[in-house]
């Protein structure tokens, strides 16, 4: 419990630090290339086109999903997925690649994965706004239901922070964990309703709902396409989601607390 309190305290007391460091992180990342931030937008756009072409035009032959054109449906999922994928991978290696720089007893080590996640959140925010503009042009005007988008974004951020506390600690101790996380992310993309919808597949749908990302992706869609208050209509699922986040956070905080003092020796 002390570990949980420590992680909470470090985050609350260092909000300004998290903001600045995430900003520097983004700057350092985009400055590596001449076109910088452009690639953060262009790469997802290319990938959405490819998936739309292969799965939408080819396999599904341009049918709609839940009354929404397929290309829009996958775009709403992909915008979440890009953020998740980049944030999880960057956060997983965040501690072992930085601990030597920040290793000072008074540096709040638990915020390292968090500020790396936030640095990936900025392009996600821009992508989401671009997506909104595009959806408006295609006739899906922002509705009142869009108000739940910040809520689901907040859910996603907390989920990522909880997961990254676990992965960043473990991958510092055993570097192979990072590779395992990378493979897992490849699998997870198909087990999250990003490219295909498991609705009406009975037990398979239920099994896939165990993945908390399912909740977030469906929530984003409900907000973007304006069909209902997802978190209220699925109140029990909302409860399940928060229990999962709490458990992951607890595990992450305990692991972080256990290895915190020796992280430098493993790096």
Residue 258, interface with another protein (CB under 8 A)? no
* Number of residues forming the site for another protein (CB under 8 A): 24
Kindly tell me which residue out of 4, 6, 102, 251 binds another protein, with binding defined by CB under 8 A: 102
* Alpha-carbon gap, residue 93 to 27, rounded angstroms: 18
Give me the count of residues in the chain: 267
Cβ-contact 94, 111 below 8 angstroms: no
Contact flags string 230-249 toward another protein, x per CB under 8 A: --------------------
Residue 31, interface with another protein (CB under 8 A)? yes
Kindly tell me which residue out of 12, 101, 144, 187 binds another protein, with binding defined by CB under 8 A: 101
Q: Which of residues 113-172 bind another protein (CB under 8 A)?
A: none
Q: Which of residues 204-223 bind another protein (CB under 8 A)?
A: none
Could you count the other beta carbons within 10 Å of the beta carbon of residue 29? 19
Question: Considering only CA atoms, which of 68, 219, 160, 145 is closest in space to residue 209?
Answer: 219
Question: Minimal distance in Å, beta carbon 111 to another protein?
Answer: 10
CB-nearer residue toward another protein: 102 or 185: 102
Residue 35, interface with another protein (CB under 8 A)? no
* Alpha-carbon gap, residue 5 to 8, rounded angstroms: 5
* Alpha-carbon gap, residue 122 to 223, rounded angstroms: 19
Burial (Cβ within 10 Å: 0-12, 13-18, ≥19) of residue 235: exposed
Q: Which of residues 169-198 bind another protein (CB under 8 A)?
A: 173-174
* Alpha-carbon gap, residue 166 to 249, rounded angstroms: 8
* Dihedrals phi, psi of 228, to nearest 5 degrees: 95, 160
Max Cα–Cα distance, the chain, nearest Å: 58
Contact flags string 3-22 toward another protein, x per CB under 8 A: -------------xx--xx-
CB-nearer residue toward another protein: 100 or 199: 100
First-to-final CA distance of the chain? 26
Contact flags string 61-100 toward another protein, x per CB under 8 A: ---------------------------------------x
Sites of contact with another protein (CB under 8 A): 16-17, 20-21, 24, 27-29, 31-32, 100-107, 173-174, 261-262, 264-265
């Amino acid at each position: 419990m002390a570990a949980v309190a420590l992680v909470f305290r470090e985050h609350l007391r260092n909000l300004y630090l998290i903001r600045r460091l995430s900003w520097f992180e983004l700057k350092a990342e985009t400055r590596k290339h001449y076109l910088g931030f452009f690639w953060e937008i262009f790469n997802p756009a290319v990938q959405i086109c490819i998936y739309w072409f292969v799965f939408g035009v080819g396999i599904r032959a341009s049918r709609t999903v839940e009354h929404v054109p397929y290309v829009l449906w996958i775009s709403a999922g992909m915008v979440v997925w890009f953020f998740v994928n980049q944030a999880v991978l960057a956060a997983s290696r965040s501690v072992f690649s930085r601990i030597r720089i920040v290793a000072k007893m008074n540096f709040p080590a638990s915020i390292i994965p968090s500020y790396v996640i936030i640095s990936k959140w900025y392009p996600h925010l821009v992508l989401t706004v671009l997506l909104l503009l595009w959806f408006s042009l295609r006739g899906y005007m922002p509705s009142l239901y869009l108000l739940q988008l910040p809520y689901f974004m907040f859910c996603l951020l907390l989920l990522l922070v909880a997961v990254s506390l676990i992965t960043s600690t473990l991958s510092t101790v055993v570097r192979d964990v990072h590779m395992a996380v990378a493979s897992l992310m490849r699998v997870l993309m198909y087990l999250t309703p990003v490219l295909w919808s498991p609705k009406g597949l009975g037990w398979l749908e239920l099994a896939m709902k165990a993945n908390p990302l399912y909740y977030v992706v469906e929530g984003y869609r409900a907000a973007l396409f304006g069909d209902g208050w997802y978190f209220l209509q699925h109140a029990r699922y909302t409860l399940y989601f928060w229990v999962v986040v709490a458990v992951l956070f607890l595990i992450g905080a305990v692991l972080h607390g256990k290895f915190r003092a020796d992280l430098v020796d493993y790096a």
